[in-house]
C-alpha cells in the first residue's frame, strides 16, 4: 500500500491540470498544519511565561522560534523545512502583513500627519547616522578592505524593520501615542529612503567596477517617483475605496463581506507596494490607515462585528507564525566564530547607537525621545537584502563587496537588534505609567 495521503498531498497541487503538474517540491500541507499547531501552542505558552515576568510576549515567540530553528544542532531535523519552505514563508508574510494592517486600523491618518515633520526627520537621521557610523566602524575594524566595502557596510545598517516595533507598540497599546505615530511614520519613509540608498550605493560600486558606470540619477528619480505614486495613489483612492467597501458591505447579501473586502484591499495594497518595490507591509499599513473605521462607525448598522474585532482572530493565528519563523531563521552556529563576532559587535553597536540620534530629530515637546530611538533599532530582512546584493557585486579585484565573514556578521547584527528591542523598548515605554498587559 502506497502512502495514499502523502500522495494526495502532492497531487492536490495541480491535479486536475494533471499535465501541468511540475515538481515544485513543496512540503506536504498536512505537515505544515502540524507544524503550525506546534508553533501556536509554543508561541502562546512561551508568550504567557514572558508576560508573567513582565517581558513582551513577542520576545517569547522569537525565542520559541530560535529553539525550534536550532533543533538540528541537537540532531532533530524534522522541522528544518520551516526556514526554507516557501509555504511557511508565505504564512509568515501573511502574518506580518496582517499585523501592520491591524496597526494601520488602530492608527489615525490626521494624527499621523500631525507628526509628519518629525517622522521625516527621524527617518532621515536614522538612515544617515548609522550609515556614517557603519562606514567609520568598518574602516576601523577592516582596514584592509576597499572603501566600497566600507560604504556598503554602512548601507546595510541604514534600514529599520518595523514589524518588531509595531508589535511591541501594539502589545502595550501605544500605537496612538505620539512616540508610536512618529516611529510608524518614520518606518514608512525609511522604506523609501532605503530604496534610494541601495540604488546610490550600488551605482557608486558599479561605477567603480565598470568604466562608464556610475550613479544613475534617472534610475533614482524613477524609484522616488514610483514610491510617491504609490503613497499618493493610496491617499487619493483611500477615501472613496473605503466608503465604497463599507457601503457594499451593507448592500450585498453574503455575510463576512466587510472583512473579505477589507482583507482584499490589504492584500492588494501589499501587492501594489511590492510592485513599486516597497515592502508589502508598507502597503498593508496604508490599507489599514485608509479603512480606519472610526469615520465609518455610523455606517455599520448590521449584525457584523466591527472590522478590528474581525481582524483580531486572523492576527491571533498568523502573527505568531511570523515571529516564530523569524526566530527560527536565527542560526546559532554563526555565534561560534570569534572573528565574525568581533565584526558583528562593531556593526551591532553602530546599528544601535546610530539610531539613537533619532531622539534628537523629534520636533514635538514632551515626547519620550529615548523610546523613539529604541523603536528604530530593529533591522530585519532589509539589511540582509542589502548584504546579499553586496555579495553579488564583484569588484575589479575579483572580490565581492561583501564577503562571507561580513555577511555572517550582518546576520548576527540583525539577530541582536531584533532580540534586544522588545525588552528594552517595552521597559522604556512602560517607565512613565503602567500599561495593561495585552497581546495579540
DSSP 8-state symbol, 400: B
Min dist. Cβ of residue 169 to its own copies (A): 16
When the beta carbons of 140 and 256 are compared against its own copies, the nearer one is: 256
Q: CB count, 10 Å around CB of 276?
A: 19
Query: Which one among 73, 78, 236, 252 touches its own copies, defined by CB under 8 A?
Result: 252
Nearest Cα residue to 430 out of 235, 177, 210, 181: 177
**290 grid coordinates:** 485608509
Min dist. Cβ of residue 361 to its own copies (A): 25
C-alpha span between 425 and 419 (Å, rounded): 11
Is 336 a residue that touches its own copies (CB under 8 A)?
Answer: no
Min dist. Cβ of residue 437 to its own copies (A): 6
Min dist. Cβ of residue 117 to its own copies (A): 27
C-alpha span between 352 and 200 (Å, rounded): 23
**237 grid coordinates:** 483612492
Query: Which one among 180, 192, 256, 286 touches its own copies, defined by CB under 8 A?
Result: 256
**Which positions from 312 through 331 interact with its own copies, judged by CB under 8 A?**
312-317, 320, 329-331
Stretch that binds its own copies, among 149-157, 289-297, 358-366, 378-386 (CB under 8 A): 378-386
Cα dihedral 79, 83, 84, 86, rounded to 10, equals: 100
Contact call for residues 356 and 373 (beta carbons, < 8 A): yes
Is 437 a residue that touches its own copies (CB under 8 A)?
Answer: yes
Is 209 a residue that touches its own copies (CB under 8 A)?
Answer: no
When the beta carbons of 91 and 350 are compared against its own copies, the nearer one is: 91
By rule CB under 8 A, what string of x and - marks binding of each residue 186-205 to its own copies? Answer: ---------x--xx--x---
C-alpha span between 402 and 406 (Å, rounded): 6
Is 278 a residue that touches its own copies (CB under 8 A)?
Answer: yes
Query: Which one among 71, 89, 233, 299 touches its own copies, defined by CB under 8 A?
Result: 89
Nearest Cα residue to 315 out of 210, 184, 438: 438
Is 240 a residue that touches its own copies (CB under 8 A)?
Answer: no
Nearest Cα residue to 170 out of 186, 183, 158, 188: 183
C-alpha span between 115 and 278 (Å, rounded): 22
By rule CB under 8 A, what string of x and - marks binding of each residue 7-46 to its own copies? Answer: xxx-xxxxxxxx-xxx-xxxxxxxxxxx-xxx-xx-xxx-
Is 76 a residue that touches its own copies (CB under 8 A)?
Answer: no
C-alpha span between 365 and 361 (Å, rounded): 11
Contact call for residues 144 and 174 (beta carbons, < 8 A): no
| 302 backbone φψ class: left, alpha, beta (φ>0; ψ -120 to 50) | beta
Nearest Cα residue to 439 out of 40, 232, 208, 173: 173
For its own copies, how many residues bind (rule: CB under 8 A)? Answer: 118
**Which positions from 391 through 430 interact with its own copies, judged by CB under 8 A?**
407, 411, 414-415
C-alpha span between 192 and 224 (Å, rounded): 7
Query: Which one among 73, 217, 275, 363 touches its own copies, defined by CB under 8 A?
Result: 275
When the beta carbons of 112 and 330 are compared against its own copies, the nearer one is: 330
Stretch that binds its own copies, among 131-139, 144-152, 179-187, 275-283 (CB under 8 A): 275-283
Stretch that binds its own copies, among 122-130, 173-181, 254-262, 352-360 (CB under 8 A): 254-262
When the beta carbons of 109 and 257 are compared against its own copies, the nearer one is: 257
Query: Which one among 67, 71, 87, 299 touches its own copies, defined by CB under 8 A?
Result: 87
**DSSP codes joined into one string, 50-62:** HHHTT--HHHHHH
Is 214 a residue that touches its own copies (CB under 8 A)?
Answer: no
Amino acid at each position: 500500500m502506497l502512502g495514499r495521503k502523502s500522495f494526495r498531498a502532492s497531487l492536490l497541487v495541480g491535479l486536475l491540470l494533471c499535465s501541468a503538474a511540475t515538481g515544485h517540491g513543496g512540503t506536504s500541507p498536512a505537515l505544515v498544519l502540524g507544524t503550525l499547531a506546534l508553533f501556536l501552542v509554543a508561541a502562546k505558552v512561551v508568550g504567557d511565561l514572558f508576560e508573567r515576568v513582565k517581558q513582551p510576549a513577542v520576545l517569547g515567540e522569537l525565542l520559541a522560534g530560535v529553539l525550534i530553528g536550532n533543533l538540528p544542532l541537537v540532531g532533530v531535523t524534522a522541522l528544518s523545512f520551516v526556514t526554507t519552505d516557501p509555504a511557511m514563508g508565505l504564512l509568515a508574510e501573511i502574518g506580518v502583513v496582517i499585523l501592520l494592517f491591524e496597526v494601520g486600523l488602530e492608527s489615525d491618518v490626521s494624527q499621523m500627519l500631525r507628526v509628519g515633520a518629525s517622522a521625516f526627520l527621524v527617518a532621515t537621521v536614522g538612515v544617515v547616522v548609522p550609515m556614517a557610523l557603519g562606514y567609520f566602524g568598518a574602516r576601523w575594524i577592516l582596514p584592509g578592505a576597499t572603501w566600497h566595502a566600507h560604504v556598503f557596510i554602512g548601507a546595510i545598517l541604514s534600514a529599520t524593520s518595523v514589524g518588531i516595533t509595531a508589535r511591541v507598540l501594539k502589545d502595550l497599546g501605544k500605537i496612538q501615542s505620539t512616540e508610536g505615530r512618529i516611529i510608524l511614520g518614520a518606518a514608512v519613509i525609511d522604506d523609501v529612503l532605503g530604496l534610494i540608498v541601495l540604488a546610490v550605493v550600488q551605482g557608486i560600486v558599479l561605477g567603480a567596477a565598470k568604466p562608464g558606470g556610475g550613479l544613475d540619477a534617472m534610475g533614482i528619480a524613477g524609484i522616488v517617483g514610483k514610491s510617491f505614486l504609490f503613497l499618493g495613489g493610496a491617499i487619493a483612492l483611500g477615501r472613496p475605496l473605503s466608503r465604497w467597501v463599507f457601503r457594499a458591505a451593507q448592500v450585498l447579501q453574503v455575510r463576512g463581506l466587510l472583512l473579505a473586502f477589507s482583507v482584499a484591499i490589504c492584500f492588494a495594497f501589499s501587492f501594489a507596494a511590492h510592485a513599486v518595490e516597497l515592502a508589502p507591509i508598507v502597503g498593508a499599513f496604508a490599507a489599514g490607515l485608509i479603512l480606519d473605521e472610526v469615520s465609518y462607525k455610523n455606517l455599520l448598522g448590521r449584525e457584523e462585528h466591527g472590522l478590528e474585532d474581525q481582524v483580531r482572530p486572523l492576527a491571533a493565528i498568523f502573527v505568531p507564525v511570523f515571529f516564530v519563523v523569524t526566530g527560527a531563521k536565527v542560526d546559532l552556529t554563526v555565534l561560534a566564530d570569534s572573528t565574525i563576532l568581533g565584526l558583528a559587535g562593531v556593526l551591532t553597536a553602530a546599528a544601535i547607537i546610530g539610531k539613537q540620534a533619532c531622539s534628537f530629530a523629534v520636533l514635538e515637546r514632551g515626547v519620550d525621545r529615548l523610546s523613539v530611538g529604541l523603536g528604530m533599532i530593529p533591522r530585519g530582512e532589509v539589511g540582509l537584502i542589502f548584504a546579499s546584493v553586496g555579495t553579488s557585486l564583484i569588484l575589479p579585484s575579483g572580490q565581492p563587496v561583501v564577503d562571507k565573514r561580513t555577511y555572517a556578521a550582518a546576520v548576527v547584527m540583525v539577530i541582536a537588534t531584533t532580540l534586544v528591542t522588545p525588552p528594552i523598548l517595552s521597559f522604556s515605554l512602560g517607565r512613565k505609567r503602567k500599561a495593561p498587559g495585552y497581546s495579540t
